[in-house]
Amino acid sequence: MTDRRSFRAAAALLLALCAVSACSTERPAEEPAAAAAATAASADSAFAAVQERGKLAMGVDQNTSTHVFEDLPDGGRIVLQRDSVDAAGAATIRAHMTDIATLFARGDFSIPGMVHAQEVPGTKVMAAKRASITYVADTLPRGGEVRIRTADADAIKAIHEFLAFQRMDHRAMAHD
C-alpha cells in the first residue's frame, strides 16, 4: 500500500460503518420461510460487504478475479488472479501480494481483519509464531500469490484455519 495512513483511515471508517449497519432494531418474529429468506439475504449482503471491503484493500474487483486459498503440507498459498487479461489489474494484485507478504511476516493481519470485519481465525497464532513462518510473494500470469511455509505444526494448523476461513468467507476454491 502506497499510502498506509489513508488506507488505515479508510479501513477504520469502513469498519465503523459496518458496525453501525449491524446495529439494527429487532424485527418481529417471521414465518420459517420468511426467516430463511431473510437469512439468505443477510448472507448475500455479508458476502457483498466482504467483496466491497476486499476491493478497497486489494485494489481490484473480486467479482472479476479468482481467489484460491490452498492448504499445503508445509503451510499453504493465497492466489489472486484477474479472470481475463488485465495488465493494470495484474500489477495491482502483484503489489498487493507483496504488501501482504511483508505485513504478514511482521505479524500484521489488519488487512484480512478489515476485509472480514472481524479477527480472522488462525491469525493470533500466525502472529505469535511469525518468526517460524515465511511469506514469499510471486507473480502469476494474471496476478500473484503468497506462498506460506513453516515447519512448526501449530503454525501449520493456524495457517490451515486461516485459509479455510478465507475459502468460506470469499466463497473461493481450495486449489486451481
Q: Supply the pLDDT for residue 113.
A: 81
43: Cβ–Cβ under 8 A, 6 or more apart, which residues? Answer: none
Residue pLDDT tens, the chain, 176 long? 445 445 454 444 444 444 434 444 444 445 555 444 444 444 578 777 767 766 677 767 777 888 899 999 999 999 999 999 999 999 999 999 999 999 999 999 998 888 777 889 999 999 999 999 999 999 999 999 999 999 999 999 999 999 998 888 777 765 44
Q: Supply the pLDDT for residue 139.
A: 97
Q: Supply the pLDDT for residue 173.
A: 61
Sign of CA dihedral 96, 120, 15, 172: positive
Residue 32: how many other CB atoms lie within 10 Å: 7
Q: Supply the pLDDT for residue 71.
A: 97
Q: Supply the pLDDT for residue 64.
A: 84
The bridge status of strand 143-150 relative to strand 65-72 is: unpaired
Main-chain phi, psi angles of 120, to 5 degrees: -85, 130
pTM of the model: 0.72
Residue 134: how many other CB atoms lie within 10 Å: 15
Q: Which residues share a beta bridge with 137? A: 146
